Every structure is written in C-alpha cells, then in structure tokens.
Amino acid sequence: MSAAFDKTVDANAPAIVTGGDIGDYFQLLKPRVMSLVIFTALVGIVVAPGTIHPVIAAASLLAIAIGAGASGALNMWYDADIDAIMTRTAKRPIPAGRITPHEAFSFGMVLSAGSVLALGVFANWVAAGLLAFTIFFYAVVYSMWLKRLTPQNIVIGGAAGAFPPMIGEAVVTGQIGWAGFVLFTIIFLWTPPHFWALAMVKAEDYKRAGVPMMPNVAGDLSTRRQIMAYTVALVLFAFVPVAMGMGGVAYLVVTTFGGAGMLGIAWRILKAGDEAASAKAGMQMFGFSILYLFAVFSALLAEHSLGLMWALPKLL
Amino acid sequence: MSDNFPTPPRLTPEEERIRRRRSMAIALALVVLAVIFYAVSMVKTIR
C-alpha cells in the first residue's frame, strides 16, 4: 500500500504547490458514476417499505453521493499508474499532473469518513455501516486487490456499484430488506455485460495497462458467451420485482421491452463475425445497457412516487 | 533558527486564483454542511 501511496506519475514534473482547481477535485469524484449512485439509491429509498421526511432523504442521498465520490477519488489515487497508460483515463487529474496522489488520497479519506459519519447522523448507523462497507469494497477489495488480479474483477467488484439501493432502503427502514437485495442483484447482474462490452472495444488499452479484463484473459469468444449468459440471467431476474409486487404494469412493460433489447444486442455480440462487428455490437451494448438500467429503475421510481402503480398478482 | 524554515513558494497570479477559489469552495461546502445538519436536526426534533 505504501508503494502505491508513494508512486508518482512523473518524477521530473515540477512540484505542485497550489493543488488542483475545483473542477479537478470534482472530477476525482467520478461525477457520472456518482449520478448513477444517487439515482439507484433514490429508487432504493422510494421502494423501501416505510416513509421518510424529504429533508432527511435529501441529506442522506447527498451523504451517499459523497461517499461514492470518495471511493472514486481513492480508486483514482490507487490507479494513477495504469490511468496514465490508458487513453480513456490519461487525462484524469492525477496522471495529468494537476493533483498529486497525496492530495487525492487525503481528499478521498476525508470525504469517506465525513460521508459515513454524516449518514449515521442524518439517517441511521445501519445505512452508514453499509456505506462504509461499500467504500471499503470499491477502494480496497476491487481497486487494490481484484482489479489487477483476476478477470472476474468487475463481477465481484461490481457489487460495490450495486450497494446504493440497499443503502437507500436502509436509510428508510434501518435494516437490509428484500427490496434492496433485489435491486442489488439487478445491478450486480447488469455490471458484467456492461463493462465487458467496453472491455472488448478497449481490449488493447487494458492489455497495455496490464489489467486482466475478460477479453484479454479468456479470449473474445468466451467473453461473448459470458455476456450472453449474464444478460439472460439479468433479463430473467428483472421479472422478480413483478412477482414480489414491487413492480407493476409499467415496470413489466419496460423490463420486457428493455430485456428484449438487451438480449438482441447480446445475441449480436455472440454472433459477430469479425472484430469490427464485435466492436460495434460491444459499443451498442455499453450504451444500451445504461439506457436499460435507467429505464427499469425509472419505471420503479414512477410507480412508487407518482402513483402510477397498477399492481399485478403477487407470486412471491 | 528561522533559516531552517524553507522559503514559501512564490505563487503566480493564476496559482493564487486557483488557491483562492479552492478556499472559497471549502468554506462554502462547510456552510452548506452546517445548514444541512441544522435542517436535519430541526426535522428530527419536530418529528
């Protein structure tokens, strides 16, 4: 750990005496990931069995968002060496030399501790404990351990991105319940097709950086088959909220059509004849999977918060 | 004794501007945090 802490991107670079601009620190928080975390945590809050004051919900969401951002900053601190090699990440504040690794580490640690304490005070300590575990899981288990060790990195590490709805439910109820667990599982199954599709397109980038992503280790065909397997599991599991009575007609329609789209693209990836077709389908999967997750969670949000719930008979 | 202390780095106007903006952002964040803590405390007390 100390070796990573001491690593500098360019030993000959002049010492930074001012620190980065506000925008650089904001970039350390991975705002796009943070927005997804806010959204999924909000859905967790809304579908949770119980009520919460809007001020406490908003303050809790802010704490969850900052906690997610803090883990992003710690990830960028640890990954600065490989970020500098990959074209997708070379312009991030640390490899670009705008923020030192020490500053990013301090920033991440202060925000981690602050967000967990704030969530404990705002909501409850179960939610705060889950947030602390999520930060630990992303920064230590995924970034420091799994990412450079195994091609299953994003499968297990993806759990970190799946925790926010569980935290959201815990904010309301003070415990971990089925609603949060189901939403967790949907995001967990969604992660491999989403990231492996990107890894197929950026395979050379990951290879140069020495990150063992699935296409580089298991090969293109195996990755395509696994994308299909996870997509089938995701599309089938996405019907569980309907069976539980958590999702109604609107959710059923969205998840059916969205699932069909996901399966269609996964099939195109599986049957891609050459590298160009495979890359094209991979980018389609990367983009459409974001839309799919957004649509599915939006349907739940609309049903539970806008009174659009036309419930179906419960099967579970 | 004072010779042992390193000379503070001289900042360019651009660096000074960045540092000032960052200090203001930290101050603003602390004010927002105080307001949120106050609002949450009020809500919890009233409930």
Does the beta-carbon distance from A56 to B19 stay under 8 Å?
no
pLDDT in tens, A145-178: 999 999 999 998 889 999 999 999 999 999 999 9
Touching B: A residues 3-22, CB under 8 Å: 17-22
pLDDT, position A18? 60
Give A4's pLDDT tier (boundaries 50, 70, 90). very low
Does the beta-carbon distance from B36 to A21 stay under 8 Å?
no
**Tokens found for residue A79:** 């990954």
pTM score: 0.87
Does the beta-carbon distance from A55 to B43 stay under 8 Å?
yes
pLDDT, position B19? 85
pLDDT, position A27? 95
Does the beta-carbon distance from A22 to B25 stay under 8 Å?
yes
- pLDDT 10s digit of each residue in chain B, 47 long? 556 777 777 888 888 888 888 889 999 999 999 999 999 999 998 87
pLDDT, position A71? 96
Give A16's pLDDT tier (boundaries 50, 70, 90). low
Does the beta-carbon distance from A17 to B11 stay under 8 Å?
yes
Give A31's pLDDT tier (boundaries 50, 70, 90). very high
Q: How far off is chain B from A302, nearest CA to CA, in Å?
A: 26
Burial of A97 (0-12, 13-18, 19+ CB in 10 A): middle
Contact of A30 with A123, CB cutoff 8 Å: no
Does the beta-carbon distance from A121 to B40 stay under 8 Å?
yes
pLDDT at residue A15 tops 70: no
Does the beta-carbon distance from B18 to A18 stay under 8 Å?
yes
pLDDT, position B47? 72
Range A238-260 average pLDDT: 95
Which residues of chain B are within 8 Å of residue A121 when distances are taken between CB atoms? 37, 40
Give A286's pLDDT tier (boundaries 50, 70, 90). very high
Nearest CA among A228, A219, A259 for reference residue A241:
A259
Q: How far off is chain B from A54, nearest CA to CA, in Å?
A: 10
**Tokens found for residue A153:** 């990195």
Give A3's pLDDT tier (boundaries 50, 70, 90). very low
Contact of A170 with A127, CB cutoff 8 Å: yes
Scan for tokens 């960028």, then name that residue: A76
CA–CA distance, A109 with A113 (Å, rounded to integer): 6
**What is the phi/psi pair of residue A28, to 5°?**
-60, -25
Contact of A50 with A85, CB cutoff 8 Å: no
Instruction: Give me the residue from B18, B21, B43 closest to A53, CB to CB.
Output: B43
Instruction: Give me the residue from B22, B25, B36 closest to A62, CB to CB.
Output: B36
Contact of A186 with A158, CB cutoff 8 Å: no
Touching A: B residues 1-47, CB under 8 Å: 9, 11, 15-16, 18-19, 21-22, 25, 33, 36-37, 39-40, 43-44, 47
CA angle A44–A232–A207, rounded 5-degree value: 90
